[in-house]
Amino acid sequence: MGVRIKSTGISRAEDTFSIVEHSGAAARQSMERAEVRPDQVGVLINAGIFRDTNTVEPAVSALIQKEAGIGLDYTKDDPRSFSFDLMNAGVGVLNAVQVAQSILETGSAEHVLIVSGDTHPSLKRGAADDEFPYATAGAALLLARSEDEEGFGRVHTVSGGGTPAIESYVDVATMGTNGRELMTVIREPEAQARLLALAADAARLALSESDPEQASTALIASTPTAGFPELLAAELGIAPNAVFTPDLSQGDPHTAALPLAYDAAVANRSLDAFSHVLFVAAGAGPSAAAVLYRLPAAVGAAA
């Protein structure tokens, strides 16, 4: 028994910069693609970090749950759904996969929906720049149990010492009356090298679970810099043509990077030649996580 990706959903439309709307749209698309009703989703986990107008309360997951139309009825016999935020920078999606595995393996939910994505808190722009290096995008992974061996293996996590490498905060000393529209992001000069080292450590732990003579492995990694996945592939000895990335034309999609890249690779049938996908994420902390995903026999049905 495993936990597999039943479908994906994405939202990058330019008619809104709201991450609640983007994540809700991605969630709805993933359910529509899998022909899953909202009442069949027991848990929604939001791994996004940067929110509309720097929302603190209520939990953004609850707003996305409402936008997606999940668990809106409260009569006596209605199925119960709940949601929560799980925030760990660019690593959050894989942390959410780890939680979803525990939930699904107990049989306490039929499906777990992971949503992720970020936006500038001003809601006035969607492309990255030097001050805020993240693009607006929403993405979703709809997960379910599988009776076959396909799906996620163990999620491996590692943490580094010292300073966090990347920091994001609202500067209360200078925000004035515009605090809900501002975010300060500081990236240390050695951030890429530190994240790369941790990502490689986590990836090797995940790869140790596979037989290299039997597995053909693709790499999907987070994109704290545009060339990060390719640098990681070189560290791991993975061929450049086995690396798949999201659309980076607007900048780093941050927490949405992994599902966006997987969605595109499945849509293009780029994964047909592979038996596994190595998902690797690295972000502020610094921290990293990796998991080996055994692809279904008909991978095109997964999105």
Please write down the HEC assignment for all residues of 18-65.
Answer: CHHHHHHHHHHHHHHHHCCCHHHEEEEEECCCCCHHHCCCCCHHHHHH
Between 36 and 212, residue with greater pLDDT: 36
The domain boundary, picked from 149, 167, 184, lies at 149
Separation CA 162–CA 301 (nearest Å): 43
Task: Tell me, yes or no, whether 140 and 165 share the same domain.
Answer: no
For residues 297 and 182, membership in a common domain is answered with: yes
Please write the tens of the pLDDT for every residue from 111-160: 999 999 999 999 988 899 888 999 999 999 999 998 888 899 999 999 99
Residues 178 and 143 in one domain: no
Decide which of 91, 122, 149 is a domain's last residue.
Answer: 149
What is the model's pLDDT at position 247?
95
Q: Given a cut of 50, is residue 42 above it in pLDDT? A: yes
Q: Note the pLDDT of residue 14.
A: 83
Same domain, 113 and 203: no
Question: pTM to 2 decimals?
Answer: 0.93
Least confident residue range of 59-68, 157-166, 196-205, 210-219: 210-219
End-to-end Cα spacing for the chain: 20
Are 281 and 263 within 8 A, CB to CB?
no
Residue 267: give its domain's CATH number.
Answer: 3.40.47.10
Shared domain for 296 and 213, answered yes or no, is yes
Contact 191, 135 (CB under 8 A): no
Do 53 and 120 fall within a single domain? yes
Q: Look up residue 206 and give its two tokens.
A: 């995940």
Indicate the number of domains in the chain: 2
Angle in degrees, CA 13, 15, 16, rounded to 5: 90
Q: Are residues 172 and 103 in the same domain?
A: no
Q: What is the pLDDT of residues 224-239, one digit of tens each?
A: 999 999 999 999 999 9
Per-residue exposure over 140-172, b if at least 16 CB sit within 10 Å of its own CB, e if not: bbbbbbbeeebbbbebbbbebeeebbbebebee
196: left (phi over 0), alpha (psi -120 to 50) or beta: alpha
Domain span at residue 298 reads 156-302
Same domain, yes or no, for 125 and 182? no
Helices (H) and strands (E) in the chain, counts: 6, 12
Asked if 25 and 132 sit in the same domain, the reply is: yes
Q: Which of 130, 149, 168 is the last residue of a domain?
A: 149
Same domain, 122 and 187: no
Asked if 71 and 168 sit in the same domain, the reply is no
